[in-house]
Structure 1
């Protein structure tokens, strides 16, 4: 991330097999820009909207607004631009690590580990195969449905769940801000596909509309993470997806939410 002056940053283009910018890149770079304006606090949550499709071969300019700096929380608003067009907006909340209070968390589901899972592209639509070129430094494995119980696929009558293991294979270092940004990139890889599981044969126009995350505990993306993904609802041309992210110690480290366009072609 290159500083351009007071509260402005340039997010570099990332080589891609696609002409449109990957949404995970946009959100991760916007978060990184916000992080570079805050000291002594970590990102606690983010809420973003995709307004315009980006051009993958071009960098993105980010402008960060200091909404508030308090003793406990800080808030930033980030806007991303390409060719003078505003392509995304995001609000990020930061929190220091000194507060203490009640603790509880959703339990990690008991599903097969990464060593028993398969390459996620084996269960993806053919249109997703090109993404493999973009994600060469990620190991992504899917737990096969044949190895799951009905309760694991449809807990308490919920929509279909899928379970994927993720790990970055590069050298990540120990900076928690960097791991949070990498998790944000990861979070857009497969989440929206979950809304298509019950509609495998339907031809649809699909695109991310908004994205939200809650960072609950420290995370390392260079260690295996399990993402429990499901879609509570689809209708009216949009689909809602959710995801719970666990480390291998069983800790819930993040919660994801994304809504995407899922409409029949005109």
Structure 2
């Protein structure tokens, strides 16, 4: 991130085969801008709205507002701009790691590991496969349905469902803020397409509308992460998707939620 002035940063353009900026890039860079204004606290949640489609070949300017700095929590508001137009708004909250209290978490699904899974391109919708060219530094594997029980494929009351393993193959240090920003990038890769698993033949206009994340425990994206993702609802031209992120130790490290445009082409 390039500093532009007090609490202002520029996120670089990322080479891509697309004309529109990838939503995960916008979330990750917006979060990174906010992180750079916070000391001694890690991100515990973010909420982002995409207002305008970005131009992938152009950088994004981010303005950070210091909403609050408390002893335990800090809050930031981030706006992203291109060509004078506001393209995203985000709120992010930060928390120190000294508090203690009750503990519980959703259990990790008992599914085959990454070594028994397949390249995610084998199951992704055709319209989404081109994007994989942008993700060459990510190893993404899908747990095949023939290795899952019927209850795992169609859990009661959860609509369409899939399990994917992710790992970044780059050299990364231990900075938790960087891993959180990388997880924000990862979170937009496949989540929305979960809503299309039962509708593979439809011609649709697909775009992220809003995005939310909760960071629950320390995370490393250069180690395998299982994302248990499902779509509880689609209708009216939008689809809602959710995901639970686990590390290989079985710890729930993050929860994701995203709504996106799934509009039929006329």
Shorter-chain TM-score category? over 0.9
Partner of 1:84: 84
* Cα deviation 1:215-247 (Å, max 9, x = unaligned): 000000000000000001011110000000000
Equivalence map 1:75-224=2 (5 Å):
75-224=75-224
**C-alpha distance in 2 between matches for 1:128 and 1:240:** 17
Give the CA deviation at 1:201.
1.2
Give the CA deviation at 1:89.
0.2
Give the CA deviation at 1:125.
2.0
In structure 2, the residue corresponding to 1:130 is in which secondary structure?
Answer: helix
In structure 1, the residue corresponding to 2:178 is in which secondary structure?
Answer: helix
Total equivalences in the alignment: 266
Give the CA deviation at 1:163.
0.2
Equivalence map 1:54-73=2 (5 Å):
54-73=54-73
Equivalence map 1:27-66=2 (5 Å):
27-66=27-66
Unmatched runs of 5 consecutive residues or more in structure 1: none
**C-alpha distance in 1 between matches for 2:235 and 2:126:** 24
**C-alpha distance in 1 between matches for 2:141 and 2:69:** 40
Give the CA deviation at 1:200.
1.1
**C-alpha distance in 1 between matches for 2:235 and 2:133:** 32
Partner of 1:18: 18
**C-alpha distance in 2 between matches for 1:204 and 1:141:** 25
* Cα deviation 1:36-94 (Å, max 9, x = unaligned): 00001000000000000001110000000000111111000000000000000000000
Question: Contact conserved, 2:125 with 2:197, CA < 8 A, in 1?
Answer: no
**C-alpha distance in 1 between matches for 2:203 and 2:126:** 12
* Cα deviation 1:130-187 (Å, max 9, x = unaligned): 2222000000000011111111112223212100000000001100000000000000
Larger CA deviation: 129-138 vs 51-60 = 129-138
In structure 1, the residue corresponding to 2:156 is in which secondary structure?
Answer: helix
**C-alpha distance in 2 between matches for 1:36 and 1:21:** 22
**C-alpha distance in 2 between matches for 1:60 and 1:73:** 27
**C-alpha distance in 2 between matches for 1:143 and 1:232:** 20
**C-alpha distance in 1 between matches for 2:108 and 2:229:** 12
Give the CA deviation at 1:127.
2.2
Unmatched runs of 5 consecutive residues or more in structure 2: none
In structure 2, the residue corresponding to 1:257 is in which secondary structure?
Answer: strand
Larger CA deviation: 127-136 vs 19-28 = 127-136
**C-alpha distance in 2 between matches for 1:236 and 1:185:** 27
